[in-house]
Amino acid sequence: MKRVDLIVIGAGPAGLSAAIEASKRGVKTIVFDENARPGGQLFKQIHKFFGSKEHRAKIRGYIIGEQLLKEAGDAGVEVKLNATVMGIYPDKEVLVRIGDKVEHIKADAIIVATGASENMVPFKGWTLPGVIGAGAAQTMMNLHGVRPGKRILMLGTGNVGLVVSFQLRQAGCEVVALADAAPKIGGYGVHAAKLARTGIPFYLPYTIKEVEGTDHVEGVTIQKLDDKFQFIEGTEIHFDVDTVCIAVGLSPMSQLMKVAGCEMKEAGGTVPVIDAHGETSIPGIFAAGDVSGIEEASSAMIEGRQAGIYAAEYLGYIEKSEMDSEEEKLDSALDNLREGMFAPKNRGKKIEKTEEGIDISTNLLQKGYVADDEIGRFPGYTHKVGIHPVVECTQNIPCNPCEDTCVKKCIHIGPHITKLPVVDPASECIDCGMCVASCPGQAIFLVNEDTGDGRATVTFPYEFLPLPEVGDKGMALDRSGKPVCEAEIVKVRTGKAFDKTNLVTMSVPKEFAMKARFIDTRISDASRD
């Protein structure tokens, strides 16, 4: 029987991070993952991460996955793929199927980082081919290069539903709408806003009444709900679609810990009871990442690093003083991610004001975009002669790449990274575009409100194909996706520093400088109505 110091179950962000930290301290570590490639959800995530430098902010998920794999290799971590752990038994013996063989492996410590699985919701027609989870859609698009469908309805407006909807749009799919049974959008407002300005509508509180079709999805009907989550007669809306995506939350994959005999509890799913060091009721068995409670991947990586350090101390490879020192730094990084409107402590609470005391945008929560009569109250929305940044970030999200990348210090957030970005009116923007490209929420625009000829220019982030060309004309869209004026592309910028976020500059009549936020080159002025 093979024996190692530490077994890590799961090669996602938490598991790899744990293995790296343990191996760096001399712990002989092996990682098992049931998938054909490591990285967990990271390789599906083509969007840029929030947070700060220490959280790998403004880096796309799949690149973070590549970084972790390299770090694991450099640290000497042994990663076994297509390896399904079937059980954890007494004395930390693990039964694992690798290919066609079943092996018994013992360790002195185990870290379980098995992540989470998608929830589903039953409705008439929910078993038809074409009804898929949002994670499955991500796998098809971002791992296999396959479009899940042509016309798609998304059920769920948490971050998963919002992010995957945008990626469906990037893949060339038409997202006809997002629906949610909740009365407000559950994910980051900036994610919703970048969808809304492309013209994708939100329906809340609506859910699916029926999916139509015989041997595949041919249509879907949604219906509005009352405050008791009962259908309201006469509110049905039908869409012709070939695919329905479901993004209604995740549940921790904690079955192995339950089989092992760990004490469990209900907390957004069945999770293990853990102490301050992530250790379960069984000494030497630790939990990290979503298996102990659903959070963002950035939090999972920090929890994984902590678990690796805790396991190294448990096994005697480091002194408690080193563990305490590392724990303090990682706790600080984790606390930063757990602040703001979307902090775990605020789940279920009605938030009416930002940390700064500003009334939140009710329109953003219900329709996905900040209304014209709301946007002016936020500190990033500024007027100035010449080119200047306009930051339409209106929620306290832990994120500061805009401040970090601006060489002229035009944008300020400060040490508390959940504060709303503030634009310094005394600063001089040089139109480098780094703030626009680095913003994970695509919420920054460079605006020249008056170019001297009765027009204005608006520079916005663009991550779709085909890329517009200079001279292309169309209709500028406002925050709601409504056509507001004619527009012409006057500049298109790409570059390695922008990391695949293109910067498109359009010229519009100057009265629309603070309204125009996107362009549809398929719509001409003549066909506007």
- 35 vs 316: which has the higher pLDDT: 316
Alpha carbon distance 132, 269 (integer Å): 21
* Buried b / exposed e along 176-205 (16+ C-beta atoms within 10 A): bbbbbbbeebbbbbbbbbbbbbbbbbbbbb
Token look-up 């940044």 returns 389
Residue 526 has pLDDT above 60, yes or no: no
Q: What's the maximum distance between 2 C-alpha atoms anywhere in the chain?
A: 79
Residue 463 has pLDDT above 60, yes or no: yes
Question: Which pLDDT band holds residue 348 (cuts at 50, 70, 90)?
Answer: confident
For 388-440, the pLDDT digits (tens) are 999 999 999 999 999 999 999 999 999 999 999 999 989 999 999 999 999 99
- Which residues have a Cβ under 8 Å from the Cβ of 270 and sit 6 or more positions away? 251, 252, 254, 258, 264
- Summarize the confidence of residues 180-193 as an average pLDDT: 97
pLDDT at residue 40 in the model: 85
- Which residues have a Cβ under 8 Å from the Cβ of 448 and sit 6 or more positions away? 386, 387, 388, 456, 457, 513
Of 37-46, 233-242, 415-424, minimum mean pLDDT range: 37-46
| Residue pair 165/446 in contact by the 8 Å Cβ criterion | no
- DSSP-derived secondary structure for 236-254: -EEE--SEEEE---EEE--
- Summarize the confidence of residues 237-249 as an average pLDDT: 98
Residue 91 has pLDDT above 90, yes or no: yes
Smallest CA-to-CA distance from 464 within 192, 167, 227 is with 167
For 481-496, the pLDDT digits (tens) are 999 999 999 999 999 9
| Residue pair 387/448 in contact by the 8 Å Cβ criterion | yes
- 347 vs 8: which has the higher pLDDT: 8
Q: 76 burial class (0-12, 13-18, 19+ CB within 10 angstroms)?
A: middle
- Residue 301 Ramachandran class (φ > 0 left, ψ -120 to 50 alpha, else beta): alpha
pTM, 2 dp: 0.95
Strands (E), 156-273: 174-179, 202-203, 206-212, 219-224, 237-239, 243-246, 250-252, 264-266, 270-272
- State what percent of residues in the chain have pLDDT above 90: 92
Q: 66 burial class (0-12, 13-18, 19+ CB within 10 angstroms)?
A: middle
pLDDT at residue 525 in the model: 52
Q: What is the CA radius of gyration of the chain?
A: 24
Question: Which pLDDT band holds residue 344 (cuts at 50, 70, 90)?
Answer: confident
- Summarize the confidence of residues 93-97 as an average pLDDT: 97
Give yes or no for a cis peptide into 205 (omega within 30° of 0): yes
For 351-367, the pLDDT digits (tens) are 999 999 999 999 999 99
Question: In sequence order, which ranges of 244-296 are alpha helices (DSSP H)?
Answer: 255-260
| Residue pair 32/320 in contact by the 8 Å Cβ criterion | no
Nearest 10 degrees: CA dihedral of 448, 451, 455, 459?
Answer: -30
Residue 460 has pLDDT above 80, yes or no: yes
User: Within 13 A of 63's CA, how many CA atoms are on the CB side?
Assistant: 11
Q: Say how far residue 529 (Cα) sits from the centre of its chain.
A: 36
